[in-house]
Amino acid sequence: MFKIIVDFFIPVLSDKSAEYQRRVRLVAYAIVVTMVFALFYVAVSWVAGYFTGLYIMLGSWIGYLILLFLLKLGLDVFKVANIFGLIGIISIYGSIFFSGGFESPVLPWLASTPIVLLLIAGKKSGYFWAIVAVLIVLNFGLMDFGGFQFPKAYYASKEDYFMLSCQTGLVLIIFFISIVFENMRVKAFNQITQQKNALETALTELKATQSQLIQSEKMASLGELTAGIAHEIQNPLNFVNNFSEVNLELIQEIKDEMEKGNLEEIKILANDIADNEQKINHHGKRADAIVKGMLQHSRTSSGTKEPTDINKLAEEYLRLAYHGLRAKDKSFNAILKTDFDESIGDIKIIPQDIGRVILNLITNAFYAVTEKKKQLQAGYEPTVSISTKRNGGQVLISVKDNGVGIPQKILDKVFQPFFTTKPSGQGTGLGLSMSYEIITKAHGGELKINTKEGDGAEFTIVLPV
């Protein structure tokens, strides 16, 4: 029954928060419960012959009804709650005055108003009306101390009945409003718990998806390297094959000279073979280093920092990224510039992670100059440069291009996960996000951007050393 009445007076609050809507329902319940017990008080007053109190409570009942309609029309719930408290205090004050002052059975009802307001409107309202209730008690106390005689406008024979009924009414009012408050609190808690569980499930799924996408991003960067590695490893292998063939021919010549007994020629040929073997050894080690670099890039980072030649690492990834793109697009061409500070030496980094960052920045730079080339065609020379510099206790690694640049309106979004300016299917939006995490969290550095739309961009890695 209560729910049907309360629902009737609840306004449409689609633009309000869930907490505000909960409080509106709580206030409506408090007013309806109080109105029911106001009718109970009217009946008690009738039996006790207390017609003054009957009229006072009927007046307050009408006031509560008007207040419910104001709530339905959209009056602020906190204003409604405090007007509800004001009506209650006025009606209680009048009833106490006309039913004996300190001897009034209605006096304990003063406690109900601040308690109810505390439940439905919060601490501030509860404290305020508690102070008002205390002041009313003090007022009656001063009047009593001054000898004022409060009227007892009810049948003396009904005093015990009136006393018992008023106290029962007070207990029931506070009890039922407390039950409503508790039920709504539990309901709100359950809703929050359900939302929390739903969010935790969604977060778990999101993390799983993000992990898969990050792995895809790593594999994509590995794919970028594959063609470049193939090109790089082909050069030392060609040297190995060529010098091996030359050595076979030289060995045959040595055999021929041995039959002739020409020792001087044999010595010259043997020296040539030795020189060739050194070249074979050198290029074999170069091929071995390339393979190890590829394996290091593809494996999961151990998180261990190692002394690394940052210049060598940067140059290697620039070359690999360039040849990787050339293998996919034969028409691509760009001027590559390097400016390495040789005084840096080895610095402690996680090489495979920093390699991924450099590769990602260079790949993005190549994409930017390619896009600008499509727009300008003749007269434009795509240029990508990478430089290193020691600056006190920091090492700066800069990747610069003269491509399309980054618009200012999206500059604050470039490091956000899944944000990308590339067409659908050409980027995951995780490259720069992953790079930012590697630099800032794993290495305690910074990743800065200096760009102007249409004039290129420069990404600077700042690493503490």
Q: Is 424 left (phi over 0), alpha (psi -120 to 50) or beta?
A: beta
pLDDT in tens, the chain (465 residues): 667 887 788 888 777 787 788 888 888 888 888 888 888 888 888 988 889 989 999 999 999 999 999 998 989 988 999 999 999 999 999 988 998 888 888 888 888 888 888 888 888 888 999 999 999 999 988 998 888 988 988 888 888 888 888 878 777 777 777 777 777 777 777 777 888 888 888 888 877 776 666 666 555 555 555 555 565 676 677 777 777 777 787 788 788 778 777 877 777 778 878 887 887 887 777 777 666 655 555 555 556 888 999 999 998 888 888 877 777 777 888 889 999 999 998 999 988 888 888 988 998 899 889 888 888 767 788 999 999 999 888 999 999 999 888 888 888 888 776 667 766 555 556 678 788 888 988 889 999 999 888 888 999 999 998
388: phi then psi, degrees, rounded to nearest 5? -130, 155
Characterize 168-191 residue by residue with b for buried, 16 or more Cβ atoms within 10 angstroms of its Cβ, and e for exposed: ebbeebbebbeebbeebeeeeeee
d(CA 32, CA 4): 11
d(CA 184, CA 405): 55
Give the relative orientation of helices 77-97 and 51-72 as an angle to the nearest 10 degrees: 180
Let me know: does 20 contact 122? Beta carbons within 8 Å: no
| Residue 223 buriedness (CB in 10 A; 0-12 / 13-18 / 19+) | exposed
Pairing, β 383-391 against β 394-401: antiparallel
* Residue 395 half-sphere exposure toward CB, CA atoms < 13 A: 25
Give the relative orientation of helices 263-298 and 351-376 as an angle to the nearest 10 degrees: 90
Fold adopted by 305-464: Heat Shock Protein 90 (3.30.565)
Element (H, E) at 441: none
d(CA 140, CA 152): 15
Let me know: does 107 contact 69? Beta carbons within 8 Å: no
And the tokens for 114?
Answer: 């601040």
d(CA 372, CA 187): 58
Give me the residue spans of the domains in the chain: 2-203, 305-464
And the tokens for 431?
Answer: 């490259």
